[in-house]
Amino acid sequence: MSIQLPPLFQSRMQGWLGGEYEAFVASYERPRHVGIRVNTLKIDREAFEAISPFVLKPIPWCETGFYVDESERPGKHPYYHAGLYYIQEPSAMEPAEALRPEPGDRVLDLCAAPGGKSTQIAAKLQGEGVLVTNDISMERTKALAKNIEMNGVRNAVVLNETPERISEKFPAYFDKILIDAPCSGEGMFRKDPDAIRQWEKHSVEVCTVMQRDILDTVASMLAPGGRIVYSTCTFAPEENEAMIALFLARHPEFVVGELPHSPLFAPGRPEWTAGLLESGGGLSPLLHEAAPDGEPLVLSRPEALAQTARAARIWPHLAEGEGHFVCVLEHTGEKAARPTGAAGSAPGPVIGAGEELPAADVGGRTGGPKGKGRQEGRGAGLPRREDKSARPARGRGKDAYVREEASEGDVRRACLEFLAAQLTAPLYGTLLISGDYAYACPVEPSRLRGLKVRRSGFQLGMVKSNGRFVPSNALAAALHPTESARVLNLSSALPEAVSYLKGETLTFDEERIQRADGVEAKGYVLVTIDGYSVGWGKWAAGVLKNEYPAGWRWNG
């Protein structure tokens, strides 16, 4: 066997799996499975199948998931940059499927980076409701925010917080919560050799403490009648069935919900936890935490551990995917009706594109409908501020400079004028100004105060020191071509698409710029590939200045 599994791990698995053990071990000799999931915020499954550059094999437990050959390099196709699909390990698609989010739900993805499950949830919400996506690692939230934006998600907030801090701001708020818990990673041994090294440092014991605390905290954030999905990528019963039984003992208002099993999934194994308790074994002291009567807490509700048989285990020798555990936890309280128009159910428009700008929002100036010759970004009525970008910074030497943030009113005016000039459909959410940046926020902004926020919502853009509004690539990636006043469509079959994705300046005749009636060709252009939005360019006199962000560019 090319992968050297830890001896203790082999001994445990052999004892539990018995006659299945040889088939289990043999799975480590097979190559890993690569999957992609169609992003239905941009394209439906059938349309993607019609244009797919890859040979597709359906993933049985995810309607929008497909196996692909890794040699086809799905990350090196323009459609990946257009957000038409997300590259995701096949088993990892099951937790969001089990969560069953629906349009209008308020959803929390607590341990979300790099964002695969969050983008899957967002696709199911279809722009309606709220997605709060979080990761405790600041570094990992960079990839999380990028994937949310590349996939065209409009109704997400990205946080970098602890569960405890989030619970203070969102008590009993969410309808659905996904906990893809930090775990010992036994199910990833074939995919990630580093997981083996971490396991040998007794990470099962470390992880169970985090898992218990996360579950306890999350319970306070779930609305009555809501659903939690708890998942790990490990086989250890201490982190799976035992954690669920411990949670049920501490929170009797929950039960394990039914999880429609794929025929390729195995049920939970409560008897493994019971066996560890009988033998006094296990890698976690929490397994032996006692109730007041001295009995192990995981057994203090006789039916609690038995319920974990309703969970699902995904085994690499039974299904084409890595190891996973998935369990649904249902709150038994009655779901309350949400008032019409409450935040997260029916947000109001930021601005109706093509309408007059409200005088209250633009400092006394109203703007007429967009039309030929209208100035973008600053707008004719936006006063030019003094350029303070070259003001020497105190105490930093003569060559040091600082730039002061724009006022909130400047950013608001510039944003609204750009949206009115550039878009042909309204955006929804609360217009929230944070520094130089403008967002369409899907939650009450007061809930975000005091939290470490990576994205306050759908980032619309920022105001530069010269007063001009620069739209974000997140805005471009989320737009349908019909929502933009100017569109330039590139072909994936020609070098022009990759040239754009590499950040190169391109030349195009005016005739290539598709535009709404009365709109001149010069200005910001939504760039699409085969009709699917990718980013911005600024066209003038036959030259397209490339606005595709450096951190997103094609590097192959």
Is 233 among the residues known to form the active site? yes
Mean confidence (pLDDT) of the chain: 88
* Rounded Cα–Cα distance for residues 143 and 511 (Å): 37
For residue range 183-233, list pLDDT tens digits in order: 999 999 988 878 888 887 768 888 999 999 999 999 999 999 999 999 999
Q: Stretch 56-66: mean pLDDT, rounded?
A: 97
pLDDT beyond 90 at 352 = no
Domains of the chain: 349-471 (no CATH), 480-552 (2.30.130.60)
Burial of 88 (0-12, 13-18, 19+ CB in 10 A): buried
Residue 228 and residue 109 in contact, taking contact as beta carbons nearer than 8 Å = no
Q: Stretch 422-426: mean pLDDT, rounded?
A: 91
* Rounded Cα–Cα distance for residues 238 and 366 (Å): 63
Q: Stretch 409-427: mean pLDDT, rounded?
A: 92
Q: Stretch 252-261: mean pLDDT, rounded?
A: 91
SS3 labels along 69-98: CHHHCHHHCHHHHCCCEEECCHHHHHHHHH
* Rounded Cα–Cα distance for residues 461 and 453 (Å): 16
Residue 385 and residue 411 in contact, taking contact as beta carbons nearer than 8 Å = no
> Which of 264-268, 363-367, 388-392 is predicted most confidently?
264-268
For residue range 402-415, list pLDDT tens digits in order: 345 568 899 999 99
For residue range 483-514, list pLDDT tens digits in order: 999 999 999 999 999 999 999 999 999 999 99
pLDDT: which is higher, 424 or 391 = 424
Residue 349 and residue 127 in contact, taking contact as beta carbons nearer than 8 Å = no
Question: How high is the pLDDT of residue 198?
Answer: 82
What is the helix (H) or strand (E) element at residue 49, kind and residue range? helix 45-51
End-to-end CA distance of the chain, in Å?
33
CA triplet 467, 471, 475: central angle to 5 degrees? 155
Burial of 245 (0-12, 13-18, 19+ CB in 10 A): buried
- At 349, the pLDDT band (50, 70, 90 cuts) reads low
Q: Catalytic: which of 62, 233, 415, 441? A: 233
Residue 539 and residue 522 in contact, taking contact as beta carbons nearer than 8 Å = yes
For residue range 84-109, list pLDDT tens digits in order: 999 999 999 999 999 999 999 999 99
